[in-house]
Chains A and B, each alone.
Chain A
Amino acid sequence: MRYAETGYNLEIDLSSGNIEKVQTDPALTELHLGGLGTNARILWDRVPPETDPLAPENLLIFGTGLLAGTPAPGANRTIVTTYSPQTLLMAYSMMGGFFAPELKYAGYDKVIFSGRSPELVYIWINNDKVEIKDASHLQGKGVVETEELIKQELEDQDAQVASIGLAGENNVYYASVEHARSSASRAGIGAVMGSKNLKAVAVRGTKDLNIARPEKFIELCNEVLDYIQWRADNPVQHVPPILAGLGSPQEMAIHDEAWHTTAFSWGNARYRRKEFWTEEVEDEWFRVQDGAVQRLISCYNCPMKCGAIIAYPTLELSKYMMKCYSKLTYVMGAMADNLEFGFRIAGLAQGYGVDSYTAPQVMAFAIELYENGILTDEDLPDFPADNEGRFFYLLEKIVRREGIGDVLANGVYWAARQIGGGAEAYDSNTIKKHEQIPIKLGMLNPVFFLMHSTGEKINITQIEGQLPQAPFPEKEDREEFVKDWFQAPSENIKDFFVKWEPRGEYAFPYFPDFQTACELVEWQETMHYIDDTTGICAGLSSFPIKPPYHIHNLPTLISAGTGLDIDKDELWNKIIKRNRCLLRAINTRRGLRRKDDRPPEDHWKKRFPEHEAKLLDEYYKFKGWNSEGIPTRETLRSLDLDHVGEDLEKRGIYDDGQKDEDS
């Protein structure tokens, strides 16, 4: 018997219509656990690096986390993996909701799509019965409507649906896959789904999911629940309210947006508005949010309330579900000052299925080009005069790939190069061709420098976490903080935190020492990699400060769930390191090199090129990678990935690391 996982994948070839239920190799679970780890392994083994992301040969993998569907609170994530049409590297955006548990109960760990359907279709997985169904009547429909229509058609309100909107159908490079209140938004996964002519996946399952050591497992789950309750009554001190609790930032429950609106940048990631959050704004935004949020909701088996049902009289869509930060991204991108606009356009954009990080930044970029004469009235006929109107205008053009929308649909990096005429200079906030969170800061932060530069997710919010973003000014407060910081992986990290000061000898950029900086990065990244294999939500684990899941209880939890015997060392230094290096190798094979490991150029005002180069050198060494950021053969061999090293060697990647492999 298999525990925590089902031991089966569903393989669907959309070109031929062939469907197979395939038993998986338990040895791969031991090597990579599940979720991201085994997704990556499949991508490495089966999709050659020269594959065009939008070609039928690319795979689209919906992988459940290893613990998804088990009693572990918050274990509900689906990890969607493919090659990105935007970054051309591996994409592994993830979603919460109810999809992964339902897929497990239907008897599958993953659904792997290959090929391209001749017509628009959706998939209906009902336990052992799997059908490819016509979706021509769903063409052009928004995701909320699609989900409802499919449930009605299947006569099953309990079916869970993941779908794409118009943006995905039209291969917009930042199209999302949407499901309930969640989405796998980043890096254009929806475009790949659209390229396969796959409108939606519906799943319903009524089978058991097994646990290897039930008594131990449930004991740990109860501890997690107890700690969640305790943390609700004991928020972290000395950080903004939005960061004091658990979950993803409680954007739906908390209306105090002083931190986001004054610390993050507005427009095309340009301007900070330190004076924005006034009493009048606060009152008005409270009124709007209070009127728009109908109910706070969660994902499967999670006590948090990170999402909401949104209903607002002026909405273009009658109702939708929202999570996290999307209420602000359009507002700030458009310099709109108006939260109601945020709720209106976010609903519309979600229906079309676009990433709410990237889309507003592309629109803000287009407005800047227009204001600077690079885009003209010829490119933007009847372009409205106000930014809110412009955002609605651009959204409609982009999701239809109409006129200039066809270029903007490729994201800032590609659009800038296609438009030319100096547009490249306005590409101010991308890493590896992908739009980043709009933050512009003063002093270089060495830890964040490394995370921004080297993260394979190409998205800082899913690499950072646990470490407060700024030092507490008072030493007593720092000492108080570490007293019950049992989540910290080592005494060295606690010592660092106590010493860390805003100014002087123990301040950035030369503090901490290289070794500690590397340890801080690796710890935070390792925690995210664990979550991405288990499917536990980062909001209860790797993302917030002092979370209920941490490096000291996760090995035991995974062991009790699966029946494997994994300790901290095995989890961190073997399995996660293996997954980390495999992802790096996948991207190396797609052409990623040291020159790509950079933050957005103007992310920090004060830069230290020599120190930054040294940081990268030291970090690569720390990871067992060469000076080009490529895992060495020895490193790969020690992680049972010798075949990966052999492949890199055969391709000549080690001989000429500098060679830019154009893919």
Chain B
Amino acid sequence: MMGKKTKTVKVINIDLEKCNGCRACEMICSAFHASEKYSSNNPARSRIRMIRRPLEDIYLPIYAGEYTAAECMGRDKYVIDGKEYDECDFCRASCPSREAFKEPDSGLPLKCDMCEDDPPQEEPLCVKWCLSDALTYEIREEEVEDEEEEEQKDLTQKEMERSIKALADRYGLDKVANSMARLLKKE
């Protein structure tokens, strides 16, 4: 018999009607993830990005999700309440089709980690800094099948794997391997 297990699900609720478009979420995300926390900020490095087309009244915060090596073949359009969105507007992927969710210098993919911290933050900082309450936070307990739960890898390890995969996609595995070899030699 398969066992049941409780899993903690962290949820950011996004209420588009409440967004005032200030981009504090982008700013504080990039500041929190600076090495030495808050020592710099740069919205281009943020793991949340505002899709912002003021005159169309489109204000859409999107979180960075998985890295993908290739962009989609087609582009669908959504019309919601008379506003036209590109499919990509809702997509969380760090993808070759756009600048968002990549480190500006290296092009390495970024992913939202809900502000993992030690000691833990009360809530992700984008939520904390959103005084308009367009972003709110809740923690839900869900029952899941034991087997189905993904094996929890160390967070740093996951990030490493993602980065190496992205580099390999971009420059070819050979080139990455050679660079690594050169680096190791120097040490």
Contacts and interface: CB of A to CB of B under 8 A. Distances in A.
Q: Report if A and B associate in a common complex.
A: yes
A319 B27 CA distance: 28
B104 A206 contact: yes
Nearest to B42: A208
Contacts, number: 98
A105 B38 contact: no
B38 A305 contact: no
Given A206-B42, A225-B131, A144 B55 contact: yes
Contacts of B57: 294-295, 309, 311
A214 B37 contact: yes
Interface residues of B, number: 31
Given A71-B27, A298-B21, A301-B27, A209 B42 contact: yes
B54 A71 contact: no
A208 B34 contact: yes
B37 A301 contact: no
B131 A228 contact: yes
Contacts of A69: 41
Interface string A296-332: 1111111111000101000000011100000000000
A552 interface: no
Contacts of A311: 57
A559 to B, nearest CB: 15
Interface in B25-66: 27-28, 31, 34, 36-45, 52-55, 57, 59
A303 B131 contact: yes
B28 A71 contact: yes
Contact of B38 (A98, A218, A232): A218
A251 B32 CA distance: 34
B22 interface: yes
Nearest to B21: A297
B6 interface: no
Contact of A321 (B20, B37, B54): B54
What range describes how many residues of A lie at the interface?
Answer: 35 or more
A301 B22 contact: yes
Interface in A192-226: 205-211, 214-215, 217-218, 225
A210 B35 CA distance: 11
Given A228-B131, A319-B55, A302 B43 contact: no
A325 to B, nearest CB: 19
B24 interface: yes
B41 to A, nearest CB: 6
Contact of B39 (A73, A210, A300, A321): A210
Contact of A148 (B23, B41, B55): B55
B41 A71 contact: yes
Contacts of B130: 303
B55 A105 contact: no
B40 A210 contact: yes
A148 B56 CA distance: 11
Contacts of B43: 105
B115 to A, nearest CB: 13
A214 B55 CA distance: 36
Interface in B116-135: 129-132
B4 to A, nearest CB: 40
A305 B55 contact: no
B106 to A, nearest CB: 12
Contacts of A303: 20, 22, 24, 130-132
Contact of A215 (B38, B45, B54, B131): B38
A180 interface: yes
A225 B22 contact: no
A247 to B, nearest CB: 11
B127 to A, nearest CB: 12
Given A206-B44, A215-B38, A218-B31, A297 B104 contact: no
Contacts of B28: 71
A299 B52 CA distance: 13
A214 B39 contact: yes
A181 B21 CA distance: 11
Contacts of A300: 22-23, 27
- Top 5 closest pairs, chain A to chain B, by CB: A206-B44, A303-B131, A214-B38, A208-B40, A206-B104
13 contacts: A69-B41, A70-B41, A71-B31, A105-B44, A208-B34, A208-B42, A211-B39, A214-B36, A218-B37, A218-B38, A225-B131, A295-B59, A300-B27
Given A211-B39, A321-B55, 19 more contacts: A69-B41, A71-B28, A105-B43, A207-B42, A209-B40, A210-B40, A214-B34, A214-B36, A214-B39, A218-B31, A225-B129, A295-B20, A297-B20, A298-B21, A298-B22, A303-B20, A303-B132, A319-B55, A321-B54
Interface of A: 69-71, 73, 98, 105, 144, 148, 157-158, 180-181, 205-211, 214-215, 217-218, 225, 228-229, 232, 294-305, 309, 311, 319-321
Interface of B: 20-24, 27-28, 31, 34, 36-45, 52-55, 57, 59, 99, 104, 129-132
